Amino acid sequence: MTDYMKTALTFVVSLAFATAAFAVETGKPAPDFTGTDISGKAIKLSDYKGKIVVIESYNSDCPFCNNQYRTGAMQEQQKQLSDKGAVWLIVDSVNTKNASYRTPEQAKAEWAQRKINATDWLDDSNGAIGHLYDMKTTPHMFVVDKDGTLVYQGAIDNKADPFHDPRAADNYVNDAVNELLAGKPVTTTHTKPYGCAVHYGI
Amino acid sequence: MRPFLSAVLALVCLAVSSAQAAHTQVQLIFSADSVKRGDTVLAAVHLTMDSGWHTYWKNPGEAGQATEIKWQLPPGVSAGEIEWPLPSKLPPADITTYGYEKEVVLIIPLTISNGLPTGPLNIAAKVSWLECNESCIPANAQVQAPLNIGSDTKPSADDALIESWLAKVPKAMTGFTAQAFWQNTTTNDTRPLLLQAAWQPARAAAGSGNMDFFPAANDNFEVLPDAKVILNNANELDLGKSVKKFSGDWPKEIDGVLITGDGAYEVKLAVAENTPSTVALPGSAATTRATNNAPQSLWLMLLYAVIGGLILNLMPCVLPVIALKILGFVNEAGSSPRKIRTLGSIYAAGVLVSFAVLAAIVIAVKAAGHKAGWGMQFGSPVFIVCLTTLVTLVAMNLFGVFEVVIGGRAYDSAGELASRSGASGAFFNGVLATTLATPCTAPFLAPALGFAFAQPAAIVLLFFLAIGFGLALPYVLLSWNPALLKLLPKPGAWMEKFKIAMGFPMLATVVWLFNIAASSYGKDVLWLGIFLVVVAFAAWVYGEFVQRGKNKAVATVITLVLLVGGYAFALEKELDWRHAMPMTDAGSLKESANGINWQPWSPEAVAQARAAGKPVLVDFTADWCLTCQVNKKTSIEVDSVRKKITDSNTVAMVGDYTHFPDSITTELNRFNRAGVPLVLVYPKNPAADPIVLPEVLTPGIVMDALERAAQ
C-alpha cells in the first residue's frame, strides 16, 4: 500500500464519517430543548437547571415500557426520585399516524389511569427531542445533573425482557441519581438501550 | 394486554406442532422423518409472519429482541446452537434493526445418541419472539412434533425447505483474509472503523448487492448500521463502519457477518489500534492503518489501466484512427529505423500529453467540487460540436476530398501526414486517438477508473498516463522493433482504397457524435447537420480548387465565405450552439426555477438580514454529506417549505462545507457540531437565539421552526 493510497483511503473514510456528529455525549452538556407538554405548556430543559432531570423515551404500547408500568415499578421509582428533588420528563415521540400515538386528552387519561408519578409528559410527536437525543428505543433513559451535564444514557435496567420483574433488576437510572445525590461520580454512564424502536414519523 | 396474551397462550398450548400468536405462525419441522441412532437431524422452527410484521435476528440491532428457543428434549437427544439465516436491515427508517419479514426458518442440529431405543419420540420447545410492525408484541408458543428413531435416516418432505434456508446461513470465513482497523482516536462515543477483506487470488468480491457488516450482539458496544464501501475491486473490499461504545474500553475484537459480493461469512476480527500518523486532515483527526497488507493493489490497478488502454485500440471509436496509424507505419517501413523509432515515441508522447491534459481537467473539476466522470467532456455540447466537425473533416480527408497541409506542403493522404510530416503528424495522431478513445470505457478499464476517480491528484495523473501508455504501446513496440514491421503488408495501390474504406467508419463516428449532440440541442440539431454539409463542401472546394486548382484566390474566398457563413448562420444564429446546456450554474444557487432562492452564507449576511427584521434559515451542507442531501431533498426543497420561506419573508442561506472553510468550522464549533449537517433558523426577533434543528429533518420540523421564527 503506497502512501498515496493510504492518503486516499484516509480521506474517503474521513469524509464518510465527517457527517457522523453525535450531539449527545455523556460528560458533555445535555442539548437544551423546548417541548410542549400534554397541557399545552412549553417546557424547557434549561429551566430545570439546579435539579437532576431524568428523561424517559416513552411509548404506552411498547411491551418493554408496559412491563415497567404494568408492574408499578416505574411509578414507584418516579415517586422516590421526585421526593428526592429530581425532575422526571416523559418524552413521547410516537408520530401522530401511529396507532400508539396519544392525543393530549388520551395521554391525560393514561396518566391518571396508570397513576404516573413523573413531573411531566412531553408530546414530541414531531420527533424533535427524540432525534436531538438520538433516542433509539422505548424506554431509552437519560440522566442530566444539576449543572445540565448528561451523566447517563441507555437502558433503564440490565434485563432486556418484556416480562421480567423490574424491581429485581439492576436499575441504572436509580443508581445514577442516587450516586449524584451522594456526591459521587456516576459509575455506569452509558449502556445499550433495549426495547421497541421509537416510532418516528417519516 | 395481559388477559389477551394469556388467552393466546392458552390457545397455542392446544395446538400440536403449529401455533399461532397474534401475527406469527410457528411450526417445528425436521429434515428427516426417521433418524438412525448416532446421526444428526436438523430441526427447524419455521416462523411465518403476517404481511408487514417482522421478527428479529440474533442481534436485533438498535431495538427489538431476538427469537429464543427453549428445548424440552427427551434423554439421548441434544440440541446445538441456532443457525440464523442472513437477516435484512429493517425497517429502512431512523432506527435500524436486523430481522426477517414474511418468514424465516431457524435451524438447530439435534444429535441422537447411540443408546436410544428405536421408536417414536416427541420433540418439544417453547419459542419466544418479539413481533413488530408499527408496534411490537411479545409472543411465545409451545411447539412439538414427532420424530421416529429407526434403522436409517430418511429425508422428510420438509428437507428441501430446511436446506434452502440452510443455504442462507452465513458460512465460515474462507478464501479471504480480513482485518479491522480503528480510523482515529476519539473522545466521543462513536469511532470510525475500517473493515478490510482481501481475496488471494483475486475473485469476484465485487458485484451487485450491498456489502455490509452485521455485528453479533454485544452489550458494551454496537457496530452502527451505516456502511460505506470505500474500495471494492476484485481482490479487496474496504468497508467503512462506525462503532458506538456504551461501556468499557473500545473493543479489541469485532465479530459478526461480513457480507461481500460472493456471500455472507462469519468473521471474528481483532481490531488493530491506530498508531500516530503524519496524515492530518481538515475536520478530522489523524488517521492511520495498522498494516500495509496490499502493496500490490495500486500496481494491479495500474496494470488494468494499461490493459484497458491497449483494448481501447480496438474500440469502434478509435478504430478509424488506427487506419491513419497503420498507413503511417506501412509507409515508414521503408525509411530508417531511427526515424521510425522517433515517430513512434512522438506518437506515444502525443497520447500521453493528451491523457495528462484529461487528468488535469479531471483534477481541476474534482477540486471545484463537482463529481467528475469518465467521458464527462462528452456532456459538453460545445465540445461535441467541435469534435463532430473535426471527425467530418477527417472523413473528407480520408475520402481524398482535400489534403492536410502542414508547413506549407500538401500531402495526398492523412496516412502520409502521419509518416512524412514526421513529428507533428505523429503527435496529431496521438492526440486524435486519445480524444476519440475517452468515451469507450472498455470493461477492463471500469474498475481502474472507478478507483482512480476517488484518488488524489497524483494518482489520477498516474492512472491516466497508464491508460495512455496502454493505448500507445503497440505502436511504440512496432517502431522499436522494425522486424515486426516487416510482417506488415507492403505499401501499394491498395492503400488508397483502404484509406477511402476507412472513411466510412469515420462517418459512422460522425453519426454517433451527431446523436449525442441531438440530446443537447433537440430538433435544432438539424442546423449542425447543415453546418457539417457546408463544412464538407468547403473542404471539397478547398481541396479541388485551392490545393489542386489554378484559381486559388477565388477558391480561397469561396471556402472562407462558406465556412464563416455556415458558422454564423447555422451554428450561431439558428443553433445558438454555445448556449445549449451551460456547464456551470455559477451566479445562482437556485436548484430549479421554483426552487428556494439561496444566498451564500456569511456571518455578515446573517447579521444584515436579522437587522432588517427578517428570519434566516441557514443550511450548512457539503457535497459529500449524504445526510445533508437527503435533508435538502426531503425536508427543505419541498413545496410546503418553499412556500413558508416566501410567505414568512425568510432569507435562505447555504454554507458550503465541502472544502472545510475555516469560517464554517468556527460556526459549527459554536454550535458544538463536529461537522455538517447543521441547519439553523434565526427568529425574526434579532435578540432571540437561533433554533438548532436536529440532524435528520422532516418537513414538519422545518415548518415548525420557520413558524416559530416568524412570530
Q: For residues B263-285, b (16+ Cβ closer than 10 Å) or e, as one string?
A: ebbebebebbebeeeebebebbe
What is the distance in angstroms between the Cα of A118 and the nearest Cα belonging to chain B? 23
pLDDT in the model for residue B461: 85
Give the residue from B90, B132, B136 with the most A CB atoms within 10 Å of its CB, the best one to mutate.
Answer: B136
- The reply to whether residue A13 touches residue B194, judged by beta carbons under 8 angstroms, is yes
- The reply to whether residue B674 touches residue A162, judged by beta carbons under 8 angstroms, is no
Collect the ranges in chain B with pLDDT lower than 50. Answer: 1-21, 208, 275-296, 316-317, 369-379, 406-420, 439-447, 450, 581-588
Say how far apart CA B3 and CA A158 lie, in whole Å: 27
Q: Does A16 touch chain B (CB under 8 A)?
A: yes
The CB density around residue B412, as the number of other CB atoms within 10 Å, is: 15
Residues of B in contact with A113 (CB under 8 A): none
Give the residue from B229, B239, B246, B693 with the most A CB atoms within 10 Å of its CB, the best one to mutate.
Answer: B246
- The reply to whether residue B673 touches residue A19, judged by beta carbons under 8 angstroms, is no
pLDDT in the model for residue B490: 60
- The reply to whether residue B700 touches residue A17, judged by beta carbons under 8 angstroms, is no
What is the distance in angstroms between the Cα of A149 and the nearest Cα belonging to chain B? 14
- Computed on alpha carbons and rounded to an integer, the radius of gyration of chain A in Å comes to 18
- What phi and psi values does residue B370 have, to the nearest 5 degrees? -95, 155
Cell of B485: 514491421
First to last CA, chain B: 44
The CB density around residue B336, as the number of other CB atoms within 10 Å, is: 10
Listing from the earlier edge strand, what are the strands of the sheet with B40-49? B18-20, B24-30, B40-49, B103-112, B77-79
Q: Does B188 touch chain A (CB under 8 A)?
A: yes
Nearby residues of B419 by Cβ (< 8 Å), 6 or more positions away: B327, B328, B329, B331, B332, B343, B425
Say how far apart CA B563 and CA B557 lie, in whole Å: 10
Residues of A in contact with B287 (CB under 8 A): 10, 13-14
Name the residue in chain A with its Cα closest to that of B131. Answer: A196
pLDDT in the model for residue B478: 74
Report A:172-201 residues touching B (Cβ under 8 A): 188-201
- The reply to whether residue A200 touches residue B93, judged by beta carbons under 8 angstroms, is yes
Instruction: Say which of B138, B288, B677 has its CB closest to residue A19.
Output: B677
Instruction: Say which of A26, A127, A199 has its CB closest to residue B134.
Output: A199
Q: Does B592 touch chain A (CB under 8 A)?
A: no
- The reply to whether residue A70 touches residue B2, judged by beta carbons under 8 angstroms, is yes
Residues of A in contact with B695 (CB under 8 A): 21, 23, 131
pLDDT in the model for residue A157: 93
First to last CA, chain A: 43
Instruction: Say which of A11, A154, A190 has its CB closest to residue B281.
Output: A11
Q: Does B289 touch chain A (CB under 8 A)?
A: yes
pLDDT in the model for residue A15: 33
Q: For residues B589-615, b (16+ Cβ closer than 10 Å) or e, as one string?
A: beeeeeebebbebeeeebeebbeeebb
Q: Does A113 touch chain B (CB under 8 A)?
A: no
B227 close to B198: Cβ distance less than 8 angstroms: no
pLDDT tens, residue by residue, B411-448: 334 444 444 455 666 777 777 766 665 544 433 344 45
Name the residue in chain B with its Cα closest to that of A129. Answer: B694
What is the distance in angstroms between the Cα of A30 and the nearest Cα belonging to chain B? 11
Cell of A13: 473514510
- The reply to whether residue A196 touches residue B294, judged by beta carbons under 8 angstroms, is no
Element (H, E) at B664: helix B662-670
Cell of B108: 438447530
Q: For residues B669-703, b (16+ Cβ closer than 10 Å) or e, as one string?
A: eeeebbbbbbbbbbbbeeeeebbbbbbbbbebbbb
Q: For residues B389-409, b (16+ Cβ closer than 10 Å) or e, as one string?
A: bbbbbbbbbbbebbbbeeeee
The CB density around residue A190, as the number of other CB atoms within 10 Å, is: 24
Question: What ipTM was estimated for this complex?
Answer: 0.72
CATH code: domain A23-197 is 3.40.30.10
- The reply to whether residue A8 touches residue B459, judged by beta carbons under 8 angstroms, is yes
Enumerate the β-bridge partners of residue B197. Answer: B178, B237
pLDDT in the model for residue B438: 53
Question: If we measure between CA atoms, which residue out of A152, A121, A147 comes closest to residue A57?
Answer: A121
Say how far apart CA A153 and CA A134 lie, in whole Å: 10
Report B:624-643 residues touching A (Cβ under 8 A): 624-628
Q: Does A71 touch chain B (CB under 8 A)?
A: no
What DSSP assignment string belongs to A95-159? -TTSTT---HHHHHHHHHHHT---SEEEE-TT-HHHHHTT--EESEEEEE-TTSBEEEEE-SBS-
pLDDT in the model for residue B695: 76
How far does Cα B176 stand from its chain's mean position? 23
Instruction: Say which of A6, A31, A126 has its CB closest to residue B701.
Output: A126
- The reply to whether residue A194 touches residue B95, judged by beta carbons under 8 angstroms, is no
Residues of B in contact with A202 (CB under 8 A): 93, 698
Report B:231-260 residues touching A (Cβ under 8 A): 231, 238, 240, 242, 245-247
Domains located in chain B, CATH noted = 2-169 (2.60.40.1250), 172-284 (2.60.40), 300-579 (no CATH), 599-710 (3.40.30.10)
pLDDT in the model for residue A8: 37
Q: Does A68 touch chain B (CB under 8 A)?
A: no
- The reply to whether residue B698 touches residue A4, judged by beta carbons under 8 angstroms, is no
pLDDT tens, residue by residue, B482-541: 666 666 556 566 667 777 777 787 788 788 778 777 766 777 888 899 999 999 999 999
Enumerate the β-bridge partners of residue B680. Answer: B618, B692
Q: Is B567 exposed, middle or buried (0-12, 13-18, 19+ CB in 10 A)?
A: middle
pLDDT tens, residue by residue, A159-194: 888 888 899 999 999 999 999 999 999 999 999 899
Name the residue in chain B with its Cα closest to that of A191. Answer: B246
What is the distance in angstroms between the Cα of A190 and the nearest Cα belonging to chain B? 5
Q: Which amino acid is at B365?
A: V
Cell of B84: 440464523
What is the distance in angstroms between the Cα of B33 and the nearest Cα belonging to chain A? 35
Residues of B in contact with A151 (CB under 8 A): none
pLDDT in the model for residue B205: 54
- The reply to whether residue B672 touches residue A23, judged by beta carbons under 8 angstroms, is yes
Nearby residues of B276 by Cβ (< 8 Å), 6 or more positions away: B286, B288
Q: For residues B626-653, b (16+ Cβ closer than 10 Å) or e, as one string?
A: ebbeebbeebbbbeebbebbeebebbbb
Residues of B in contact with A125 (CB under 8 A): none
B281 close to B624: Cβ distance less than 8 angstroms: no
The CB density around residue B135, as the number of other CB atoms within 10 Å, is: 17
pLDDT in the model for residue A17: 34
Say how far apart CA B495 and CA B502 lie, in whole Å: 10
Between A57 and B1, the higher pLDDT residue: A57
B235 close to B198: Cβ distance less than 8 angstroms: yes
Instruction: Say which of B95, B240, B626 has its CB closest to residue A13.
Output: B240
Between A198 and B426, the higher pLDDT residue: A198
